Amino acid sequence: MRVKSETRRKAIIQGAADVFLEKGYAPTVMAEIASRVGVSKPTLYGYFPSKEELFLEVIKTLVAERLSSAFEPLIEGQELSEILQTFGQQFLTNVLKPEIVTLRGILMTEAQRTGIGPRLYKEGPGQEVDKLAFFLAKEMLAGRLRPGKPETAAAHLLGMLEGEYQDFLLGATDTQPTAEQIAQSVDDAVAIFLRGYAP
């Protein structure tokens, strides 16, 4: 019974993700999600008491599936530039995937409209960004980066990685960046970051 219940829960999250990505948050209704997944509305509400809670779980799941792997290389003991190169490549490749770009747009809209932005960020992308800040803090303590605010350093690195693609992230162009473009962007961003934070 436990396995079956978890299987259904995952199916609900996936079905909800499909609907949210297609329609956005506001136009999506729980009845449509229940229909898409093939469960009754009472069953759906038994798993998730509100659309907000279900949307939050979708965010956490998609972040875990698409972005968490990018933060796994942040382990001490290797050459810092290589670690950041590997991280940057995985992070930028995943951030620029169409479903993540769409989700980001929904997040920005709903954060302002409903006021749930802080919770969405804290329980979703914020947890991954904290991993980067924690890693950079250890590098600062080890003397491989100059002392500073780890959270600010993390924001600088992420900002430089995404900087060339604001038009794509904001929907001003639908031309998907190539692997070669991403690789060059990562090279440039990591080089500038390490120069700026050189001890």
Torsion, Cα 174 177 178 183, to 10 degrees, reads 180
Does this model's pTM top 0.85? My answer is no
User: DSSP string spanning 5-49?
Assistant: HHHHHHHHHHHHHHHHHHH-STT--HHHHHHHHT--HHHHHHH-S
- Picking from 67, 33, 74, 71, the residue whose alpha carbon sits closest to that of residue 53 is 33
pLDDT at 2: 45
pLDDT at 114: 67
- pLDDT at 113 exceeding the cut of 90: no
Residue 54 contacts residue 48 (beta carbons within 8 Å): yes
Mean pLDDT score of the chain? 86
Could you read off the pLDDT of 128-165 as tens digits, one per residue? 788 899 999 999 999 999 999 999 999 999 999 999 99
- pLDDT at 5 exceeding the cut of 80: yes
pLDDT at 25: 85
**Winning range, highest mean pLDDT, from 67-76, 122-131, 170-179:** 170-179
pLDDT, average across residues 84-101: 89
Residue 108 CA to residue 106 CA, distance in Å, equals: 5
Torsion, Cα 54 94 144 135, to 10 degrees, reads 20
| CATH superfamily for domain 67-196 | Tetracycline Repressor, domain 2 (1.10.357.10)
Same fold, 1-57 and 67-196: no
pLDDT at 144: 93
The CATH number for 1-57, chosen from 1.10.10.60, 3.40.50.1000, 1.20.200.10, 3.90.1570.30, is: 1.10.10.60
pLDDT at 159: 93
| Range in 72-76, 87-91, 117-121, 138-142 with the lowest mean pLDDT | 117-121
**Winning range, highest mean pLDDT, from 32-41, 61-70, 73-82, 164-173:** 32-41
Instruction: pLDDT band for 4, please (50, 70, 90 cuts).
Output: low
pLDDT at 128: 77
Instruction: Name the residue with higher pLDDT: 143 or 26.
Output: 143
In angstroms, how far is CA 78 from the centroid of its own chain?
Answer: 25
Domain boundaries, the chain: 1-57, 67-196
